[in-house]
């Protein structure tokens, strides 16, 4: 009877640990809706700290920039170092998503190396991601 | 044993004689008993009988067969079957865990698919007095409401303003008030609320008196409402 309990405990541990380990993708939607000068810096700091705080953990981070906040992606308005950090985040797998309408209005001013995904319905996209289990963060 | 050479056969116990036979008596005692055996025929016969019994007993128990316990009691150490059982149970647990993970992913996709059938509830939280930002939020709200209407999906949107966001809802902001009037007319599933404490705070701290748009209802506490809605499962968006 004692041995049966040990086997059951082993099965229980497998059941608990395997799904937790397999479902380890941390999903975050980071929403920028402000256009203050330090907004992008705060956002980049937050995202870098998020990755630093969970080393080795696979993450799916989406940076959604609403409305005029897309102007923050203008390199002439930002520190070179900050844009470099943003590009590094993009290269590491962070997805930048912007409203299609706002992108068309600001396309020429946006850093050319950035490849944002265009979203037709911005709030709809935010809802969709949260429904998919993405945690919602703002600066 | 008392050193009494007068001891006779009747006084020597079987126990003593067995000790003698087993060479378990002291040398002096042994010599005495040997002398007595020489003199006493009965004693001699008794010693022979006891010696005989001892030999017969020894012979009878010389080859003791191994005990045969029932098979259910015998604990045979079978390591290989135990290891096989552990691997089988572990594999079963792994398969079950994988199945649970896939079931979770499946149910998530089902939930998002079934979202079409249930009402979507969205809370938009206004905390900034920036007019451009406010207008952009209202534009995005309109897009959202239009899409849900065209897809014939149910959605309920509540806008809650607190802090500096209250200032957006002043009748003096023509652009904002016009948009709100138009949206609340077109969409009855859109409501807008303002935090009473923030209104009072603005007046007391900043000397700003906010004259609210008529379409806005006043609630006691904006943050309490935000928390309440999130607890009720509303999707939260900062505007």
Contact yes or no for B141 and A130 at CB 8 A: no
Which residues of chain A make contact with B111, given a CB cutoff of 8 A?
131
Q: What is the mean pLDDT of residues B112-129?
A: 77
Cβ atoms A48, A13 nearer than 8 A: no
Q: Is A37 on the interface with B (CB under 8 A)?
A: no
pLDDT-based confidence at B118, cuts 50/70/90?
A: confident
Surface-to-core class of residue A90, CB atoms within 10 Å of its CB (0-12 exposed, 13-18 middle, 19+ buried): middle
**Residue listed under structure tokens 């995005």:** B140
What are the CA-CA distances from residue B232 to residues A11, A81, B229 (Å)?
Answer: 35, 42, 5
What B98-106 contacts at long range (C-beta under 8 Å, 24+ apart), as own/partner pairs, is B98/A18, B98/A19, B98/A22, B100/A15, B100/A18, B100/A19, B101/A18, B101/A19, B101/A22, B101/A23, B104/A19, B104/A23, B105/A23
Nearest Cα of chain B lies from the Cα of A66 at a distance, in angstroms, of 8
Closest residue, chain A, to B146 (C-alpha): A121
Q: Is B86 on the interface with A (CB under 8 A)?
A: yes
Cβ atoms A35, B135 nearer than 8 A: no
**pLDDT > 90? residue B34:** yes
Surface-to-core class of residue B239, CB atoms within 10 Å of its CB (0-12 exposed, 13-18 middle, 19+ buried): buried
Give the CA angle between residues B92, B95, B97 to the nearest 5°. Answer: 105
Q: Is B115 on the interface with A (CB under 8 A)?
A: yes
Cα-atom radius of gyration of chain A, to the nearest Å?
A: 20
pLDDT in tens, A60-98: 999 999 988 998 998 888 889 999 999 999 999 999 999
The pLDDT of residue B176: 94
**pLDDT > 70? residue A1:** no
pLDDT-based confidence at B181, cuts 50/70/90?
A: very high
- Which comes out higher in pLDDT, residue B168 or B83? B168
**pLDDT > 60? residue A120:** yes
The pLDDT of residue B113: 43
Q: What is the mean pLDDT of residues B115-130?
A: 84
pLDDT in tens, A9-18: 666 665 655 5
pLDDT in tens, B35-62: 999 999 999 999 999 998 999 888 888 7
Continuous H helices in chain A: 2-22, 39-53, 80-91, 100-106, 122-131
> Rounded CA gap, B40 and A7, in Å?
75
The pLDDT of residue A112: 84
pLDDT in tens, B162-176: 999 999 999 999 999
Across the beta sheet with A26-32, the strand order is A117-119, A95-99, A59-65, A26-32, A135-137
pLDDT-based confidence at B5, cuts 50/70/90?
A: very low
The pLDDT of residue B3: 45
Which residues of chain B make contact with A121, given a CB cutoff of 8 A?
140, 143-144, 147
Q: Nearest by CB to A67, which of B96, B108, B133? A: B133
């Amino acid at each position: 009877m004692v041995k049966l309990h040990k086997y059951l405990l082993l099965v229980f541990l497998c059941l608990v640990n395997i799904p937790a380990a397999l479902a380890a993708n941390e999903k975050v939607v980071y929403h920028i809706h402000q256009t203050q000068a330090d907004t992008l810096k705060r956002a980049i700091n937050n995202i870098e700290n998020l990755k630093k705080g969970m080393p080795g953990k696979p993450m799916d981070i989406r940076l959604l920039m609403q409305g005029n906040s897309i102007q923050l992606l203008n390199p002439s308005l930002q520190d070179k170092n900050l844009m470099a950090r943003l590009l590094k985040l993009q290269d590491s797998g962070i997805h930048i998503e912007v409203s299609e309408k706002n992108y068309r209005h600001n396309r020429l001013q946006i850093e050319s190396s950035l490849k944002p995904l265009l979203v037709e319905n911005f709030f709809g996209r935010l809802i969709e991601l949260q429904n998919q289990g993405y945690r919602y963060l703002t600066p | 044993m008392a050193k009494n050479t007068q001891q006779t056969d009747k006084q020597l116990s079987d126990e003593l004689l067995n000790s003698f036979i087993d060479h378990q008596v002291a040398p002096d005692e042994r010599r005495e008993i040997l002398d007595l055996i020489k003199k006493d025929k009965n004693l001699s016969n008794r010693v022979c009988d006891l010696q005989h019994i001892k030999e017969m007993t020894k012979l009878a128990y010389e080859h003791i067969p191994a005990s045969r316990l029932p098979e259910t009691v015998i604990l045979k150490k079978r390591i290989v079957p135990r290891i096989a059982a552990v691997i089988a149970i572990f594999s079963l647990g792994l398969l079950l865990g994988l199945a649970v993970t896939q079931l979770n992913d499946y149910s998530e996709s089902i939930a998002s698919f079934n979202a079409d059938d249930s009402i979507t509830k969205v809370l938009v939280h206004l905390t900034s007095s920036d007019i451009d930002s406010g207008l952009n939020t209202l534009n995005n709200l309109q897009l959202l409401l239009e899409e849900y209407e065209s897809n014939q999906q149910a959605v309920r949107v509540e806008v809650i303003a607190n802090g500096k966001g209250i200032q957006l809802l002043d009748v003096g902001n023509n652009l904002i008030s016009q948009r709100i009037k138009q949206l609340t007319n077109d969409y009855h599933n859109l409501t807008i609320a303002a935090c009473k404490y923030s209104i009072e705070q603005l007046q007391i701290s900043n000397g700003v008196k906010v004259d609210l748009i008529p379409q806005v209802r006043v609630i006691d506490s904006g943050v309490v409402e935000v928390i309440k809605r999130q607890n009720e499962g509303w999707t939260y968006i900062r505007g």
